[in-house]
Structure 1
Amino acid sequence: MSVRFENVSFRYPGTTTGVFDIDLEIATGELLAVIGPSGSGKSTLLKLLSGFAVPDTGRILVDGKDVTHLPPHERALGVVFQSYALFPHMSLWRNVAYPLKVRGIPKTERQERARDALARVGLGDFAERAPTSLSGGQQQRVALARALVFSPRALLLDEPLSALDAALRHGMRDEIMRVQRKAGIATLHVTHDQEEALSMGDRVAVMSAGRLEQVAMPRDLYDRPASRRVAAFVGHANLWEGMVVAPGLVSTRLGELVCDTAGFATGADVIALVRPEHVVPLLELPSGPRPNVFFGHMAEDRFLGAVRRCDLEVGGGTVRIETSIRAAIAAVAVPPDAIRLLPPESPSPTRPAHTGNPS
């Protein structure tokens, strides 16, 4: 059961905000995580799939069926909200069975299916309890069981873990992935938590100004971002403007960088991307000149427990470092194979000019 957006555009009436030219597919059994800054359109994408908004143009297909103009209750989609939305006066099994009741399933069958669903999320012994007696993580599992109890055609996760504390979030990530994998269901997961998206998503989509910037597997997204915007948004990054001055050599405000310049002609403007964890701290100054070695003034030094984040001011730029080394850092080395060159930033994606309410 797959999900597909075919050239979907939607604009909120009276505004220039929405989503534009979305062409995207979620395969059967795939979990696609969607991230982006506030206002990027990720929640709008979920509203369009769930039926709470209707595209101005394009189509939405679920398992090959056009659901673009179907109301939410006819789409057979399971939704897990940030707020859980459990009925406090109902037992857990009755909460989980509610979608079956709406569909006219006999009580005996819906009770059996609800109890089975609770067992799948590890709450089989809690069926008669009230939601108010559970922890936040347990309530989230009930919401997940309810979303899956009627065998939906796809699953929508609307920032489902944002209300939990850090320890519970990590456990619930694994729980959601386990249940989703077992169900083999196409899943759209909207989240503001990048770590959550990278750890859970089979692929991750980055949105900006209502458009898809990049859709890729988590490692590819992090290691090979398509643009400076994606590189800057996903994780931490050193981004140095420069110019290719010779094959294998880039001039930056830090100094010259030896790196692979394949694909860029001499004289081309580039952005050099280096993730902070790939910068190598040196505890002693090198005895002689060495390529890609820089020393300067330590401007910031933040101890974060297992990780230390530092900013070394070098010439006219800054080298961000992420390391577990606690000793004084005298200089840094930037391995040539840790440098990825990106084209200069294109203008920020723009939304179509507003010409009145969409017809």
Structure 2
Amino acid sequence: MTLRYENVSFTYPGASSGVFDISLEIGRGELLAIIGASGSGKSTILKLLAGFVKPDRGRILIEGAEVSALPPEARRLGVVFQSYALFPHMRLWENVAYPLKVRGMKKEGRRAQALEMLRRVGMDMRADDLPAALSGGQQQRVALARALVFEPRGLLLDEPLSALDAGLRVEMRDEILRVQRSAGIATLLVTHDQEEALSIADKVAVMREGRLIQLGTPRELYETPVNASVASFVGQSNLWPGKIAGAGLVETAIGPLACETHARSPGESVIVFVRPERVEPVDAAGMVEGPGSFSGQAAADRYLGPIRRIDLMVAGGLIRLETHQREPVTAVSIPRDAVRLLPAD
């Protein structure tokens, strides 16, 4: 059960926004998350696969067959919306069984199948309740059960957890992953929550202005972004303009940093990228002068429980760091292997 986009483009009528030349594939049992700023095109990607809009160019395939011209109901895809979209007058089992009803299954069969799906999401004991009696997280479980009850060829999740509070989002994303893995179904997740995407997705696609900027595993996106745009969007980051000073050395406004320069030439402009958790607090009294060593004063010190997020003002600018250390931080070291060089453009 593979879901595929081949060079797909779509522009909304009377507007210049849309998506352009998108190629993606989601394999059997794989979960692909799409992230991006508002208006980047991530929801349009889902609408194209669901059949809510049709591509201007390119092809959409399910299990190798083109479905670009098919209506949504003919694509056999389960969809979970941000609003859950449960029928308020129907009992839970009736909500879950509704896709089976429209497909002509008899009442006894569809009730049995709906109860089994409710059991899989831990809601079978509430089968005769109405949606109004449920919490947001419970309604989301029922919506997930309804999307999977007819054994769809793919699962589409449109901001499924955005209406839940932070603690419940963590619980429900683990539940979604458990059910998705159990079903072994190709799944597309659209989300604005980077942590959600990085924590459960096999691959993550980053969209910007309707174009796919980077596709990779969560680790690839976090540790080796292709450019400064991805680096700044995914997680926290230090980004400084720099110039190659020589083999293994880059010069920045905050000072020189040792790094792997590869084949770059002296004088070449780059963007220097360092994750805050790779910046190491050191004892100011014993600090060794040289590339990657800095002292300064904390401009901001945010206590976040497990970590502190500190903005350290140094002579040439600002260094962001994250640390478990509780003592005051006035000096830091940036190791050679923490530094990545990105294209200047």
* TM bin (shorter chain): over 0.9
Q: CA RMSD in A?
A: 1.0
| 1:19–1:41 CA contact under 8 A, matched in 2 | yes
The equivalent of 2:107 in structure 1 is 107
Rounded Cα–Cα distance in structure 2 between residues aligned with 1:242 and 1:284 = 25
The residue identity in structure 2 corresponding to 1:174 is D
Equivalent positions of 1:236-255 (< 5 A) are 236-255=236-255
SS at match of 2:284: coil
Q: 1:288 offset after TM fit, Å?
A: 4.4
Percent of matched pairs sharing the same residue: 61
Are 2:286 and 1:274 equivalent residues in the alignment? Answer: no
Equivalent positions of 1:135-154 (< 5 A) are 135-154=135-154
User: Over residues 287-320 of structure 1, what are the superposed CA-to-partner deviations in whole Å (9 max), with x where a residue is unaligned?
Assistant: 5423311012322222222221111122232100
The equivalent of 2:309 in structure 1 is 309
Rounded Cα–Cα distance in structure 2 between residues aligned with 1:288 and 1:278 = 18
Rounded Cα–Cα distance in structure 2 between residues aligned with 1:8 and 1:329 = 50
Q: 1:47 offset after TM fit, Å?
A: 0.7
Paired residues, number:
345
User: Over residues 163-212 of structure 1, what are the superposed CA-to-partner deviations in whole Å (9 max), with x where a residue is unaligned?
Assistant: 11111111111110010011111100000000000001000000000000
Rounded Cα–Cα distance in structure 2 between residues aligned with 1:59 and 1:314 = 52
Q: 1:107 offset after TM fit, Å?
A: 1.1
Q: 1:29 offset after TM fit, Å?
A: 0.7
Q: 1:249 offset after TM fit, Å?
A: 0.6
Rounded Cα–Cα distance in structure 2 between residues aligned with 1:259 and 1:70 = 52
Rounded Cα–Cα distance in structure 1 between residues aligned with 2:223 and 2:239 = 13
Equivalent positions of 1:2-17 (< 5 A) are 2-17=2-17
| Runs of 4+, deviation exceeding 6 Å | none
SS at match of 1:70: coil
Q: 1:282 offset after TM fit, Å?
A: 1.8
TM-score, normalised to structure 2, is 0.98
SS at match of 2:273: strand
Equivalent positions of 1:207-356 (< 5 A) are 207-286=207-286, 288-345=288-345
Are 2:55 and 1:55 equivalent residues in the alignment? Answer: yes
Rounded Cα–Cα distance in structure 2 between residues aligned with 1:101 and 1:16 = 40
| 1:285–1:330 CA contact under 8 A, matched in 2 | no
| 1:283–1:328 CA contact under 8 A, matched in 2 | no
Which segments of 5 or more consecutive residues in structure 1 lack a partner in the other structure? 346-359
| 1:41–1:210 CA contact under 8 A, matched in 2 | yes
The equivalent of 2:26 in structure 1 is 26
The residue identity in structure 2 corresponding to 1:273 is F
Which segments of 5 or more consecutive residues in structure 2 lack a partner in the other structure? none
The equivalent of 1:350 in structure 2 is none
User: Over residues 230-250 of structure 1, what are the superposed CA-to-partner deviations in whole Å (9 max), with x where a residue is unaligned?
Assistant: 001000000111111110011
Question: Taking structure 1 as reference, are residues 78 and 240 closer, same or farther at Cα in structure 2, changes over 3 Å only?
Answer: same
TM-score, normalised to structure 1, is 0.94
Rounded Cα–Cα distance in structure 1 between residues aligned with 2:326 and 2:298 = 14
The equivalent of 1:83 in structure 2 is 83
Rounded Cα–Cα distance in structure 2 between residues aligned with 1:287 and 1:148 = 58
Are 2:61 and 1:67 equivalent residues in the alignment? Answer: no
SS at match of 1:45: helix
Rounded Cα–Cα distance in structure 2 between residues aligned with 1:223 and 1:175 = 27
Rounded Cα–Cα distance in structure 2 between residues aligned with 1:287 and 1:259 = 19
| 1:273–1:340 CA contact under 8 A, matched in 2 | yes
SS at match of 1:19: strand
Rounded Cα–Cα distance in structure 2 between residues aligned with 1:6 and 1:66 = 10
The equivalent of 1:155 in structure 2 is 155
SS at match of 1:178: helix
| 2:284–2:295 CA contact under 8 A, matched in 1 | no
Question: Taking structure 1 as reference, are residues 206 and 287 closer, same or farther at Cα in structure 2, changes over 3 Å only?
Answer: closer
Question: Taking structure 1 as reference, are residues 268 and 120 closer, same or farther at Cα in structure 2, changes over 3 Å only?
Answer: same
Rounded Cα–Cα distance in structure 2 between residues aligned with 1:11 and 1:298 = 47
